[in-house]
Structure 1
């Protein structure tokens, strides 16, 4: 061999590790072996269903609120009617009961349970209408790229409004009825603590109720257990803030500026709460299973059996 013809071949650790030292034929390692690396799943940018993290949630919430605010104005006008004119206070019915008794005799007291039931039914209307409007407008628009007409929105949510109304009427009993039954003489010096306790309870109920409402509207035959399961896989910080604002701000506006200011604040905040509930629901569903706006819309549009 002439000088300069010799070559040095380096055998590195992977080749040595793959070789068989007990091979009787003295063969070297099979260099054709390679490790298969699984490709990373593609990142899906959905206009409604957010990925993990508060940043993703905030971007979807801002996008939905900004794009559909004008188209939700008819819903907010419908919400303003029961919120300002028809939603009576439970303590007003208690005051009115003796007057009814004087007018129509002892039968007036029999009207008190009916008045309470009417209060609970009507007080749930703003939540029901806002959430149904947000789901019926934003979800088809995200899935199909165009906003549905009013008749189409009604056809999507009308069959499931009764169940949604019943659930929110029950929440109204806890968040609206019980605090008004406690007078200043009953709570005494602990009135501030009681008010704070009921505000916290109302915030929690609205947070859970927002996800439950989306479950009732979109998924058939599922209820509180499904909503609790989804909330356990979500970080509903944005929905908590929206629920707290809906609980506190209208009462502060009523105290400081009057009933019309409280109604205006309540109408806007209940619609923002509904949008926050829908975005939180979509994010929680994506954390549990692979979903998109189209798959959620297919569930919403599925015919009733």
Structure 2
């Protein structure tokens, strides 16, 4: 499948450079220097992911990001900007960006981050299509790779103990990998692709503590410890979406000095 990347960048030379290096990877690109035009392109369903600058002709890229998330558009967004302070990065991530890369940047790293965004977003769709296609050879699961089950979550009703669970159920919280969907007390919770990947990573092994370095590797496909703030910001966004105030961090717990773990218990 040919994926289309929307590049919102007001420096034409930079936009052309980004486009050239994405096309080398087999992507199609759409270039614009305006937030308004970029927003319309996304709303028309013409892009599979967005590379978004901050300082643009008609505003800050974070405003476009916020507007898309308010409209519950979960298209993956990578912010690529010269604003490189920790405060700037946190602002971008809190606005709803899935990743944040600063200029000057490594072309190889940019390509890798785009691949990771696309992979996380479209994996569930690929699973569905592969089941329906007679030309796709089913994946053979090595028995040594079976996912360990934990007593704090249940298999979905249509699953057997020999299957990797398609849904993780924790009382009111249901995480469906196949549908790439999260529901809390019956209500759909809108998560970005990165937020979903992070939640599924933690919830698939309740009680296990993940360090920030582990989460960066598993969710962001990077081992650069300079992005620890990215993990913290995404955890905070997740908590705001799935935690009820009275439960005081029921699901995602901080293990101070170590990392984070998923636990299905309400604190007193």
- TM-score norm. by structure 2 comes to 0.26
The structure whose residues are more often strand, as a share, is: 2
Relative to its length, the structure with more helix (as a share) is: 1
> Structure 1 length as normaliser, TM-score?
0.24
